[in-house]
Chains A and B, each alone.
Chain A
């Protein structure tokens, strides 16, 4: 039985913030997100504002920082780097502001291939600093199909890259698993509308539980959808805890995430 109270310590490495034009999101503000986190046992969420990925990286990144300031210890921020919107300026901002703990890129939305030269500064920065990068990945996309990340890993083996959604579709997940199996710098993040517990289990079996990360995409999608798949997935409890938070603690070492706060501390 699933009770009403969470039993795991959770870190959500794939989240957003704020409204999105294509559809209505009820209460997409940081305070509501933290309230949801309290219900789900989520200690820390790493987010990028929807405004940053959808329309204006600079303004959106400022919204992410405001959320960090409003909820210190619970929210951390990615700096969105849009290859068309002065990426060098945002990388300089990221380097100077310790509230940013990683980089978010969205090649599909920004219509530019993840292997393109305009992203080179991102990978160079990640490789030289250890800053983790979360990228959207989508099966058969001309911009961020999972196999394309093999090229990134080949060129920049020291850049830790999270394949957001792990390719999204069942076939995309298979491709993402293949890429991550070949390159240890590639990590798999599990949120996506077509994801299932057995697919997450396949990631763990084939890549190892040490490079699979929990993310939810909330408030784009409700956090509990992705969380339910992991909580109920056919994993050992050790593997489940790796996915839900242990691996995030390992990956985010450049600027460590806020301290261990979770259901055990309440």
Chain B
């Protein structure tokens, strides 16, 4: 095993902004930069806490502002979307077009938190698929049948599940086995030997390193992958290579 393989990972989930009920350090620009330094990361995908917990569309500006200020560090923005609703959002297609113009690398949706059915976002999924932008979603925000329905209807749309917890391997397996466009990141991917189990079943290329910095303790995912039972090549695949392939940006 080589220690060098633990450098240059891409953190596929960072959240900027304050959380109202968590003892977490601030995740402003300087904190994200320090996070990149501390773990020698090659970059990160950043969404805004405000998009999740306050203003879904308006909060996207905070993600982009941070991404722009750390663009030279490989930081990319992830925007949030809600169904087109008069007064809130005119068009999902236009939102994605605007995101592509601004260099946004992925979208995140929060159907449970934002009170809508995932089926109301077909326009978004089609636009993301056309622009090769991944869709990110927390496991608690969607049901497995809803998730797999999206994956089936949009087979070229990469879907990254986050915050899986430790109790969902039965459902995860069914989703991964039946849909080559579903991925899972390491934020709270807490099942004992879950990483090694997926790799042993030839699904290491569906795993992405991510810490959830801003929501979770980044030490969880860092140590989980660094001290995993994976060989160096697979650590590099999970740590950086799959993210590099998925988050190359729209129209690239």
Contact = CB atoms under 8 A, between A and B. Distances in A.
Chain A partners chain B: yes
Interface of A: 1-6, 22-28, 32, 35-36, 39-40, 170, 193, 195-199, 202, 218-225, 227-233
B226 A3 contact: yes
Given A4-B5, A225-B188, 9 more contacts: A3-B6, A6-B227, A23-B167, A193-B165, A197-B217, A221-B190, A225-B190, A225-B224, A229-B219
Contact of A225 (B1, B21, B168, B220): B220
Interface in B8-27: 21-25
A225 B163 CA distance: 13
Interface stretch (B46-54, B105-113, B137-145, B193-201): B193-201
A227 B225 CA distance: 12
A3 B3 contact: yes
A223 B229 contact: no
B251 interface: no
Contact of A218 (B7, B170, B192, B222): B192
Contacts of A222: 166, 190-195, 224
Given A24-B169, A27-B192, A225-B190, A231 B24 contact: no
Contacts of B193: 25-27, 32, 36, 219, 222
Contacts of A227: 223, 227
Interface residues of B, number: 43
Interface in B34-65: 39-40
A23 B169 contact: yes
B222 A2 contact: yes
Nearest to A169: B21
A15 B166 CA distance: 15
Contacts of B219: 197, 228-233
A23 B170 contact: yes
10 contacts: A4-B227, A4-B232, A32-B193, A39-B227, A170-B23, A196-B23, A198-B25, A222-B166, A228-B219, A232-B219
A222 B167 CA distance: 11
Contacts of A196: 22-24, 216-217
Contacts of A32: 193
Given A4-B6, A197-B217, A198-B23, A26 B191 contact: yes
A151 to B, nearest CB: 27
Contacts of B24: 196, 198
Contacts of B228: 39, 224
Contacts of A197: 217, 219
Closest CB pairs A-B (n = 6): A232-B219, A228-B223, A219-B192, A3-B3, A228-B219, A26-B197
A24 B21 contact: no
Nearest to A226: B220
A4 B166 contact: no
B229 A220 contact: no
